[in-house]
């Protein structure tokens, strides 16, 4: 079902340049982590896959659950809940891995994000996006590109490049201990 949402949005995305300020609206993939709804610019999303248990890798930051094999490519999998300072995401019926692309040191990196469930592809008007509050959110304000009210509920729009900053993750997150 999640992949169909993404596929249906592709014609709308065609021809749209990267960045949040193109035209009056932008498309975002909305997903859940616990009770909160987050969104990522659809241009950063490669695909959505069913959850599979990642293979653990020693000496990785705690937020890196491990790696998966995605059609022959090794893809690191990040637990966003842990990245945001929460407890690890529990696996449920709707748990999935959102495959995103971001740049690091001039190279395109593919990473997987464990989320509790994908909601929808949303069209959000640029004028309805408010700046991130300095306090009061459960997420580091540096990770937030903005907030928008959609259907009476706040959606936190993530700056995925900041959330997935490899240098920052390694420098502030102690390595996980792998039990044998």
* Segment 127-148 mean pLDDT: 81
3-state secondary structure (DSSP) of residue 173: coil
Taking domain 2-172, whether its CATH number is 2.40.50.180 is answered by yes
Q: pLDDT band at residue 16, thresholds of 50, 70 and 90?
A: very low
Q: Can you tell me the mean pLDDT for 64-75?
A: 95
- Domain borders along the chain are 2-172
Among candidates 27, 48, 47, which has minimal Cα distance to 95? Answer: 48
**How many angstroms separate the most distant Cα atoms in the chain?**
53
pLDDT averaged over every residue in the chain: 82
**How many other C-beta atoms are found inside a 10 Å radius of the C-beta of residue 153?**
10
Please tell me which residue, 134 or 30, carries the higher pLDDT value: 30
């Amino acid at each position: 079902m999640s992949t169909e949402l993404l596929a249906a949005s592709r014609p709308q995305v065609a021809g749209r340049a990267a960045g949040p300020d193109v035209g009056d609206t932008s498309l975002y993939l909305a997903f859940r982590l616990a009770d909160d709804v987050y969104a990522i610019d659809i241009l950063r999303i490669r695909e959505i896959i069913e959850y599979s248990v990642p293979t653990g890798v020693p000496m990785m930051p705690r937020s890196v659950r491990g790696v998966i094999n995605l059609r022959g490519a090794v893809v690191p999998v990040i637990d966003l809940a842990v990245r945001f300072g929460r407890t690890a995401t529990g696996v449920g019926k709707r748990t999935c891995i959102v495959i995103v692309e971001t740049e690091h040191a001039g190279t395109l990196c593919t990473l997987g994000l464990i989320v509790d469930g994908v909601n929808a592809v949303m069209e959000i008007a640029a004028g309805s996006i408010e700046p991130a509050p300095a306090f009061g959110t459960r997420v580091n304000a540096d990770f937030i590109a903005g907030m928008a009210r959609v259907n009476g509920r706040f959606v936190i729009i993530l700056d995925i490049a900041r959330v997935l900053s490899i240098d920052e993750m390694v420098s502030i997150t102690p390595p996980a201990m792998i039990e044998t």
